[in-house]
Amino acid sequence: MILNFTHPDVRRAVENALAEDIGPGDLTTQTTIPADLQAEARFVAQQPIVVAGSELLSILFDAPTIQKRSGDRALAGEQIAIVRAPARTLLTRERVALNFLQRLSGVATLAAKFVEAVDGTGVRILDTRKTTPGLRILEKMAAAAGGAVNHRIGLYDAILIKNNHIRLAGGVRHAIERAQSANKPIEIEVRTRAEIEDALACGAHRLLLDNMTPSQAASEIEFIGRRAETEISGGVTLENVRAYAEARPDFISSGALTHSAPAVDINCGIYAL
């Protein structure tokens, strides 16, 4: 996924963040900083990171100089961007800019670690819908910047039949047969050999092996034998993702990419010109 400034969710997220923080005005800046003072803000990585969201500075400020774009790596001490603007503007928007940069670069950095952990296996790492409300597009862009593959964006763009759907629909076969009316590839969560057999018999495109151990997943993937794509999910962490990858699925999805990514350390120093 490519960062798209025109996507309404991107601009809405930035505008909401500014409105939340500034409200009717920045009291401290307005009372302490001369209106005509010009300044320069320098955004600098304080640790090794994969950058994500630096392009948002073009929404927050006029004509920033972006030195590291989404997907680029930055070492501690490397500059990500420079912005020259009225000092009041820089001070008022500094925190929102850092919040986005630190959060999104945190997602990208963790995603890159997952991708590196399965290097050489051919397995692709997927993100999930376990995102911060209102920030899904941005967090999925960040995951992609780290090398992950975006799973469905929402409930509207793909079919993924999960355990609760299966239960309420009356079983795997009933759920798949009903979903076929959408004329889209069908992915379904399976937890037992019987469910796998039913899903294969009904022509499911991808089987989501949920909450299995690596050895259990390997056994089921061998049984499936490429009759459908396979995805492992549930309990996947950075510590065990390699073991799951060695079961040879096509994909591994982990909500940790977004719901557990720690913000990275990025500094913003502002200096008078």
Q: Which residues are annotated as catalytic?
A: 95, 130, 162, 189, 210
Which residues, 6+ apart, have CB-to-CB distance to 194 below 8 Å? none
Q: Is 132 helix (H, G, I), strand (E, B) or coil?
A: coil
Cβ-contact 123, 249 below 8 angstroms: yes
Treating both helix axes as pointing N-terminal to C-terminal, what angle do 193-201 and 214-224 enclose, rounded to 10 degrees? Answer: 30
Strand 206-210, strand 229-233: pairing: parallel
Alpha-carbon gap, residue 229 to 261, rounded angstroms:
27
Closest by CA to 12, choosing from 99, 139, 155, 137, is 137
Treating both helix axes as pointing N-terminal to C-terminal, what angle do 8-22 and 87-117 enclose, rounded to 10 degrees? Answer: 130
Alpha-carbon gap, residue 101 to 96, rounded angstroms:
9
What the block records as the tokens of 22 is 């500034």
